[in-house]
Amino acid sequence: MASAAERQPDLPVIGAAALFVLCAAAFTDLRLLSTAVPVPVPSMLAFRFEHHAWMFAAGFLGILFVSRGHLWSFGINSKNLPASMRWTAGAYAAAVSVAAFAVMTDAPLRAGWEGTADSGAAVLLSMLILWMSSPVASQILFFGFFQTMLAKSIGYERRLGPVPAAVAIPVLLFAILPAEAPFALPGGDTALALLIGSYSATAYWKTGSLIAPMLGHAVLLGLPFALSLAVRYV
> Is there a domain that residue 98 lies in?
yes
pLDDT at 184: 38
Domain containing residue 133: 11-233
* Other Cβ atoms closer than 10 A to 100: 12
How far apart CA 62 and CA 113 sit, in angstroms, is 31
How far apart CA 204 and CA 33 sit, in angstroms, is 32
* Contact residues for 14 (Cβ-Cβ < 8 A; gap 6+): 149, 150, 153, 154
> Is there a domain that residue 47 lies in?
yes
Query: Cα-flanking dihedrals φ and ψ of residue 145, to 5°?
Result: -85, -60
> Is there a domain that residue 45 lies in?
yes
Dihedral sign for Cα 142, 135, 180, 38, please.
Answer: positive
Judge whether 122 and 42 are in contact, CB under 8 Å. yes
pTM, rounded to two decimals: 0.85
> Is there a domain that residue 1 lies in?
no
What are the pLDDT tens digits along the chain (234 aa)?
A: 445 555 566 778 888 888 888 888 777 667 777 677 777 777 778 888 888 888 899 999 999 999 988 899 999 999 899 999 999 999 999 888 877 777 777 666 554 455 556 677 888 888 888 899 989 999 999 999 999 999 999 999 998 889 999 999 999 888 887 655 444 344 456 777 888 999 999 999 999 999 999 999 999 888 877 877 777 666
> Is there a domain that residue 110 lies in?
yes
- Tell how strand 159-160 and strand 163-164 pair up: antiparallel
- DSSP collapsed to 3 states, 109-171: CCHHHHCCCCCHHHHHHHHHHHHHHHHHHHHHHHHHHHHHHHHHHHCCCCEECCEEHHHHHHH
Q: How many residues does the chain have?
A: 234
> Is there a domain that residue 117 lies in?
yes
> Is there a domain that residue 153 lies in?
yes
Angle, nearest 10°, between helix axes 188-207 and 211-233? Answer: 140
Judge whether 212 and 203 are in contact, CB under 8 Å. yes
> Is there a domain that residue 2 lies in?
no
How far apart CA 200 and CA 7 sit, in angstroms, is 25
Q: How many domains does the chain have?
A: 1
How far apart CA 28 and CA 20 sit, in angstroms, is 11
pLDDT at 38: 72
pLDDT at 28: 66
How far apart CA 192 and CA 195 sit, in angstroms, is 5
Count H helices, E strands: the chain? 11, 2
